[in-house]
């Protein structure tokens, strides 16, 4: 049985006072998933960015794991505007790319690091040496992944994740072990097909490197982002379906500090 909790008390404690309290619902389920449902995509973008700014102001050396793709781009743009206006700074922070496609040229616009650079990094004040990405072009990928896991230690303070249509987290596809480390993975057919929207050619990637479920679930705080009606069904499965590795995003319901942040369309069934 879900229970709607007054959002003002909860969010004021954690983040200050967002502009859209009156337009936001916090839904809590017995399994522990916290859901912030905003009444529009604009409110979703603005307030997720406001929460993020508060986290950076309270902890300037925030260690973050960030996704690429279409979902976070409007939020990245809002963060760029906040940096330009002097409202927040990434100067002391660390950013780790969540994943990277294999088999693409270094300058391919669809590479995850390149998308992060284009939509976020070029618009913020993060020093170049404080951005970490997965070196898919190296010959020894086991070494690359092991070194990435060691660089992640002592863990992420904040992880932002998009929600795949099959419930994957990063490139941790259905069936990924809950204790999986950073590693090379073969992509699901739906992920391969979806990658085409980032590319200008038909050489779709079939594999990649991803931060594993173990370091993601060990993050101190996790925000799962979803917007648009196309995410409605998988949002419903994540929140109401059985918890298990067949839908990796459901594992976040066991995380003590996880938040699903949706707009009105993605959260229409909640």
Strand 63-66, strand 34-38: pairing? unpaired
Whether 186 is a known active-site residue: answer: no
Whether 168 is a known active-site residue: answer: yes
Whether 246 is a known active-site residue: answer: no
CA nearest neighbour of 173 among 223, 95, 71, 248? 248
CA distance 37 to 23: 9
CA distance 242 to 235: 13
Q: Which of 34, 47, 78, 99 is catalytic?
A: 99
C-beta atoms surrounding 195 within 10 Å: 19
CA distance 102 to 209: 7
Q: Which of 47, 78, 100, 173 is catalytic?
A: 173
Helices (H) then strands (E): counts for the chain: 8, 12
Whether 91 is a known active-site residue: answer: no
**Angular region, 29: left φ>0, alpha ψ -120 to 50, beta rest:** beta
Scored b (16 or more CB within 10 A) or e, 117-146 reads bebbbebbebeeeebbbbbbeeeebeebbe
Q: Which of 168, 172, 255, 263 is catalytic?
A: 168
The partner residues of 37 in beta bridges, in order of sequence, read 25, 262
Write the burial class of residue 151 (CB in 10 Å: 0-12 exposed, 13-18 middle, 19+ buried): exposed
Write out the catalytic residue numbers: 99, 166, 168, 173
């Amino acid at each position: 049985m879900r229970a709607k909790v007054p959002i003002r008390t909860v969010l004021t404690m954690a983040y200050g006072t967002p502009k859209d309290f009156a337009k936001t619902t916090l839904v809590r389920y017995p399994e522990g998933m916290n859901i912030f449902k905003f009444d529009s995509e604009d409110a979703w973008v603005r307030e997720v960015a406001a929460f993020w700014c508060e986290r950076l102001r309270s902890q300037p050396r925030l260690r973050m794991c960030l996704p690429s793709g279409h979902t976070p781009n409007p939020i990245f743009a809002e963060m760029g505007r906040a940096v330009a206006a002097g409202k927040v700074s990434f100067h002391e922070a660390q950013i780790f790319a969540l994943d990277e496609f294999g088999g693409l040229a270094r300058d391919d616009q669809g590479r995850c690091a390149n998308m992060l650079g284009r939509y976020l990094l070029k618009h913020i004040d993060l020093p170049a040496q404080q951005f970490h990405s997965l070196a898919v072009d190296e010959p020894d990928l086991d070494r690359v992944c092991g070194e990435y896991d060691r660089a992640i230690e002592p863990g992420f303070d904040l992880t932002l994740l998009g929600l795949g249509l099959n419930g994957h987290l990063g490139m941790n596809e259905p069936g990924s072990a809950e204790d999986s480390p950073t590693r090379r993975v073969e992509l699901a057919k739906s992920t391969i097909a979806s990658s085409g929207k980032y590319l200008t050619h038909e050489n779709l990637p079939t594999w990649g490197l991803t931060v594993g479920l173990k370091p993601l679930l060990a993050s101190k705080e996790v925000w799962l982002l979803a917007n648009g009606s196309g995410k409605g069904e998988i949002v419903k499965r994540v929140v109401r379906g059985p918890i298990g590795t067949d839908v990796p995003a459901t594992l976040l319901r066991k995380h003590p500090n996880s938040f699903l942040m949706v707009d009105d369309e993605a959260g229409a069934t909640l």
